[in-house]
Structure 1
Amino acid sequence: MKGSSVYVSAQELEALHDAASYLSAILEASSGDAEIIIAAKAGLHSIIEKVQKSSRSTTRRTTLKAALRAAENS
């Protein structure tokens, strides 16, 4: 699904962080094969990182546009 766009709200991002924390707790408490939990946790962290990277890019773009507008109006 390369190139897909998904809107993630702040509440949803918080829920992803919570789910990753729960998976960490389950992983720590597990005594058997935990490959599935490790893979699920890695997947969640990958999504969280992509959302945060996108947010930083959007903030940077917005800041640059505002700076350019301010420079033009000066």
Structure 2
Amino acid sequence: MKGSSVYVTAQELEALHDVTGYLSAILEAASDDATHLIAAKAGLHSVIEKAEKSRRATTRRNTIKAALRAADNR
């Protein structure tokens, strides 16, 4: 799904972080093949990283816009 956009709220991102903890606990308790859980955790980490990268970019962009507006108002 190249080019897809998903909007994640701060609460949803926090919930995703919580889920990684739950997956870690399940992985530690798993006695049989947990390949699917490892893949799920890796996929979840990828989504979290992308959401955090997007949030940082948005924050940076908003900061730059505010600085440019402040400079124009002088």
TM-score bucket (shorter structure)? over 0.9
Matches of 2:11 and 2:72 in 1, distance apart? 37
Displacement, 1:57?
Answer: 0.1
Q: 2:65 maps to what in 1?
A: 65
User: Secondary structure in 1 aligned to 2:8?
Assistant: coil
Q: Alignment partner of 1:39: what SS?
A: helix
Q: CA RMSD in A?
A: 0.7
Quick one: percent identity of the two aligned structures? Answer: 76
Question: What is the identity, as a one-letter code, of the residue corresponding to 1:2?
Answer: K
TM-score, length of structure 2 as denominator length = 0.95
Normalised TM-score (structure 1): 0.95
Per-residue deviation at 1:61?
0.1
Structure 2 partner of 1:26: 26
Find runs of 4+ consecutive structure 1 residues off by over 3 angstroms: none
Letter of the 1:17 partner, please give it: H
Structure 2 residue runs without a partner (length 5+): none
Greater shift, 6-15 or 62-71, is seen at 6-15
